[in-house]
Amino acid sequence: MSDPTQPPESRSDQQPEGPLESPREEQRPPEEAAEAEAPGAQAGSEEALEAESEELPDDVEEEEEEEYEEPVAPRQKPEIPGADLEPDIVTEPQQFLDAEALAAAEAEAEAAAARAAQEPKDEELAQPIAGAAIDLGAGARYTATGKRKTAVARVILKPGNGSYAINGRTLEDCFPRETLRRMIRQPLEAVGYQDRMDVVARLHGGGVAAQAGALRHGISRALIVADPHLRGELKRRGLLTRDARVKERKKAGLKKARKRPQFSKR
Question: What pLDDT digit, counting tens, does each position of 177-229 carry?
Answer: 999 999 999 999 999 999 999 999 999 999 999 999 999 999 999 999 999 99
> What domains does the chain contain, in order, with CATH numbers?
142-236 (3.30.230.10)
Percent of the chain with pLDDT over 70: 66
Q: Is the pTM of this model over 0.85?
A: no
In tens, the pLDDT along 113-154 reads 887 777 666 666 667 787 788 888 888 999 999 999 999 999
3-class SS of residue 118: helix
String of b and e for 166-195 (b: at least 16 CB within 10 Å)? Answer: beeeebeebbeeeebeebbbbbbebbebbe
Residue 155: strand, helix, or coil: strand
**With 60 as the cut, is the pLDDT of residue 28 above it?**
no
Residue 70 DSSP label: P
